[in-house]
Structure 1
Amino acid sequence: MVDFTLSSQQTALRNSARAFAQDVLLTAPSMYNDQPDQRSRFEATLPIYQQAVKAGLIKGQVPAPLGGTSTSIVDAAIVVEEFFAKEPSAAITILGTGLGLMPLILAGTPKQHEKFLTPFLGDEGEPIAAFVHSEPGGTANWLEKGAPGLNTTAYEQHGEWIINGEKLWTTNSSGWDQRGADLQCVVCRQSSPGSPQDLTSDPASQILILLVTREDVTKNDHSAYQILSDPELAGFKSAIGPHSRFTNFRVPASQLLCRPGEGAAIVEQTFGSSAALVGAMGVGIMRAAFEATLVFCKEDKRGGTVPIIQHQSVSDKLMDIKMKVESARMLTWKALSGIEKGPGNWENKLETALEAKIWCTDQAPKAVMDAMAAVGMKSYAKDMPFSRLLEDAICLPLFDGGNIGVRRRQLEKIFQRDGYEPWASTYI
């Protein structure tokens, strides 16, 4: 039987996440708002990140069997919602490390787990990780046969892999000092630099993933790893998604995470798990919009005789937002529970995760706009939360695989397969 009641442990987790969001994350804007650019705003949040490490929020994204404290990815959705209801921008940096570690968690050997996860299992410092996949030319069609494919290449020589190419929109990848995150999981195409992709082959057969550490950056020539720019973002004002370049960058052969032909599947699993968590981000933003609107509409008369919540048109907007929040939360929890427990195979689980990502993030900007319509012109003022919520909400359908360019097309392919069972992810 379906049960959405939180366990005592989950209730405690929610209370802890809510307290951290209220007491720590909410202080982030006062640290970064006056900074002149994206890089400065990101670096200004370092004390927030250090407190997150101390609070166990980094090792909380690593499964307990691997030394962390995570016991369920549904629990992760609970944390994400609480964070995004208060301060999405600083939260992205914390959660970006979890995404950065995911390929290692999924595909690492016991020896790689022990070596590369250990820095993220303590409660001191500021260890940060990144999943390094996207490129300046776009990656929506990276596995299309006959296309150029990934431009970041790697080839093996004398016990090392040598990386060449550029990456962009890779959250956290520069680290705090532009000399690299503590761990980058870098997705590459097996090839010597400048060699075009074989247009007759399956692009997935050439995809590999390498583990790159700050120590590797130090050992290479200074020019081998460069941050070219830090794009200014419309939302998530303190997050960082740098444009970076690898030039004859050398990595020990032991740091091959996925052999050629194995990397594409891990990329899909990484983005599959993250898809539903982005849905939870949408839940948090919609929740914040509803709560702020509810308070305003119960207190403000807008020059009339009664609080505006007593006008049907205003109440209807509140109802629409509330139903979006509840529906999005249930779909997100269902998707994440399905990834952990089933039913169905991986494709069935991926389908529901894609639905959660697409639907929840498409609803988030609409919910904020409904909130602004209910409040009226006052919602446009900077001392109200709505413009900030809208700036963050409009990013959600675009990142972590854009809903139009990537996620809906993934879902389309699933629907088109012979033997597709529409409800396999719901019923055994």
Structure 2
Amino acid sequence: MPINFSLSPSEQSTRTAAANFAQHVLLPSRTSYLQHPDHPSRFQATQPAYAAAASAGLLKSLITKPHGGTAGSLVESTIMVEECYSVEPSTALTIFATGLGLTPLNLAAQPHHAEFFAPFLSGEGAPLASLVFSEPAGVANALEKGAPGFQTTAKKVGDEWVINGEKKWATNSAGWDFKGCDLAAVVCRDVTEPLEENQDPKEKVMIILVTRADLDRSGPDAFSLIRHISMPGHTSVSGPHIKYNNVRVPEKNVLCFPGQGAQVAFGAFDMSAVLVGAMGVGLMRAAFDAALAFGKSDNRNGAVPLLERQAFADLLSGIKMATEASRALTWKAAYVMEHGPGDYEARRELALAAKVYCSEAAVKACTDAINAVGITAYDLNQPFSDLLNTALVLPIFDGGNVGIRRRHMQQLMLSPTYDAWAATYGPSTQ
């Protein structure tokens, strides 16, 4: 198979459109939200930019074609994410988090779930979706044998499911008015019957779709926001601590019945792992471009521009090489996830590798850019501290590298059927 990294016409079109959107919508959004003093009001200030994304068909592009959307390839998605993250990551994350919220539906929706896609296909308003997964006590160990499992529960009562529990860090989950988003894919534990001795906790995991209409119908106490979380990076993103209290939904809202939910939830995070890799590439690219411009224009009161100093150039060349390597890994992971070679576990390993490697490389790249520029990088009028603050979350969100992603890689390597290079060369014949 020939290896060609040239962008196809469709990929080039995606890059051009994403770059234009980033410059003309996302960047002005940053100027707007930075006028607000606190995290919640900054989030709400991004709603016009989000609505512009919906109007431009960007939300529709987060839905696969079988479900009525216009989504392209996963490679095209990585290109779009990189372009947006290199310009304005915070507003962009709110948009891409809706994509994560819709991913379980893309993977598992049946014809009767079509109504849940409708708001995001219309191109109207600013509908928010959220994959509601993480919990205040953490979820990294919740599904191991003997663990209690997810603390957010669902119980079958008549022809309805009743949801109770607290969630945290689920981007967009509170909606624009902090009373609930338009669509939440809630990962929870079925407690209709107790967990049997030695039963795998995964057999109880399910995903239930909760709409804003469901929350309103369940009463004023059904949804509450316990705390807004302020973060050093992504300072316009909402990922609060929330609570569901006797939220009642009809059975048609069940996306994944008990025993099916874990596979779909982790499948969604396999897809997002590749996109986090692209986020890292976008931040590395921005750090390099800003440091390069500084190095060409500033001599620090010396005889030559900084770029002629070997120490400065060595740091920049390291950032550039790491960016190129990270982009190549991300593109490969995206292509392999959809086309192979290798079985799903082999392809999944590359997605995990992209998330881990690129997220950690982004932190180092931003730090190296700061060291190259020096004390000037500490000025908030420069982009470097904001880039670093944004990069710092990449290794610990979307499945922390230490607690989740590297452990998943370890589990793959421990498998008796592990085929280390299947995602590159195809299944081993030995």
- Shorter-normalised TM-score: what interval? over 0.9
Secondary structure, in 3 states, of the residue corresponding to 2:14?
A: helix
The 5-angstrom pairing of residues 146-165 of structure 1 reads: 146-165=146-165
Q: Is the 8 A contact 1:28 1:45 kept in 2?
A: yes
- Give the 3 Å change call, closer, same or farther, for CA 196–389 of structure 1 in structure 2: farther
Distance 2:11 2:422 in 1: 28
Q: Is the 8 A contact 1:154 1:161 kept in 2?
A: yes
- Equivalent in the alignment of 2:181: 181
Distance 1:270 1:13 in 2: 22
Distance 1:123 1:167 in 2: 29
Superposed CA offset, 1:176-210 (max 9, x none): 11221111000110115xx9755621010000110
- Give the 3 Å change call, closer, same or farther, for CA 372–232 of structure 1 in structure 2: same
Distance 1:363 1:199 in 2: 43
- Equivalent in the alignment of 2:389: 391
Q: Is the 8 A contact 2:112 2:252 kept in 1?
A: no
Letter of the 1:150 partner, please give it: F
Distance 2:38 2:377 in 1: 26
**Given the alignment, which residue of 377, 401, 406 partners 1:408?**
406
- Equivalent in the alignment of 2:259: 261
Distance 2:226 2:194 in 1: 24
Letter of the 1:397 partner, please give it: P
- Equivalent in the alignment of 2:11: 10
Q: How many residues were matched structurally?
A: 425
Distance 1:344 1:90 in 2: 36
The 5-angstrom pairing of residues 109-258 of structure 1 reads: 109-112=110-113, 114-191=114-191, 198=196, 200-258=198-256
The 5-angstrom pairing of residues 94-109 of structure 1 reads: 94-109=95-110
Superposed CA offset, 1:186-243 (max 9, x none): 0110115xx9755621010000110100110110111011111111111100001011
Letter of the 2:346 partner, please give it: N
Letter of the 2:47 partner, please give it: L
Q: Is the 8 A contact 2:291 2:372 kept in 1?
A: yes
Letter of the 2:162 partner, please give it: I
| CA apart distance, 1:60 | 1.0
Distance 2:411 2:129 in 1: 31
- Answer yes or no: is 1:34 the counterpart of 2:35: yes
Q: TM-score, normalised by structure 2?
A: 0.97
| CA apart distance, 1:110 | 1.4
Secondary structure, in 3 states, of the residue corresponding to 1:398?
A: coil
Distance 2:42 2:187 in 1: 27
Distance 2:399 2:241 in 1: 17
Secondary structure, in 3 states, of the residue corresponding to 1:144?
A: coil
| CA apart distance, 1:28 | 1.9
Distance 2:48 2:194 in 1: 44
Q: Is the 8 A contact 1:160 1:252 kept in 2?
A: yes
- Equivalent in the alignment of 1:353: 351
Q: Is the 8 A contact 2:39 2:236 kept in 1?
A: yes
| CA apart distance, 1:54 | 1.2
Superposed CA offset, 1:385-413 (max 9, x none): 00000000001001000000100000001
Letter of the 2:305 partner, please give it: P
Distance 1:19 1:249 in 2: 41
Deviates more, 1:118-127 or 1:87-96: 118-127
Distance 1:384 1:121 in 2: 38
Structure 1 stretches of 4+ with a deviation exceeding 4 A read 195-199
- Equivalent in the alignment of 1:46: 47
- Equivalent in the alignment of 1:343: 341
Distance 2:417 2:24 in 1: 51
Distance 2:333 2:224 in 1: 38
- Equivalent in the alignment of 1:319: 317
Distance 1:264 1:110 in 2: 21
| CA apart distance, 1:29 | 2.2
Letter of the 1:252 partner, please give it: P
Distance 2:316 2:179 in 1: 47
| CA apart distance, 1:159 | 0.3
- Equivalent in the alignment of 1:56: 57
Distance 1:86 1:165 in 2: 37
Distance 2:194 2:133 in 1: 18
- Equivalent in the alignment of 2:299: 301
Superposed CA offset, 1:343-400 (max 9, x none): 1111111100000000000110100111111111111111100000000000100100
Q: Is the 8 A contact 1:149 1:197 kept in 2?
A: no
- CA RMSD after TM alignment: 1.1
Secondary structure, in 3 states, of the residue corresponding to 1:187?
A: strand
| CA apart distance, 1:65 | 2.5
Q: Is the 8 A contact 2:148 2:201 kept in 1?
A: no
**Given the alignment, which residue of 407, 414, 417 partners 2:415?**
417
Structure 1: runs of 5+ lacking an equivalent: none
Letter of the 1:175 partner, please give it: G
- Answer yes or no: is 1:20 the counterpart of 2:21: yes
Distance 1:111 1:382 in 2: 50
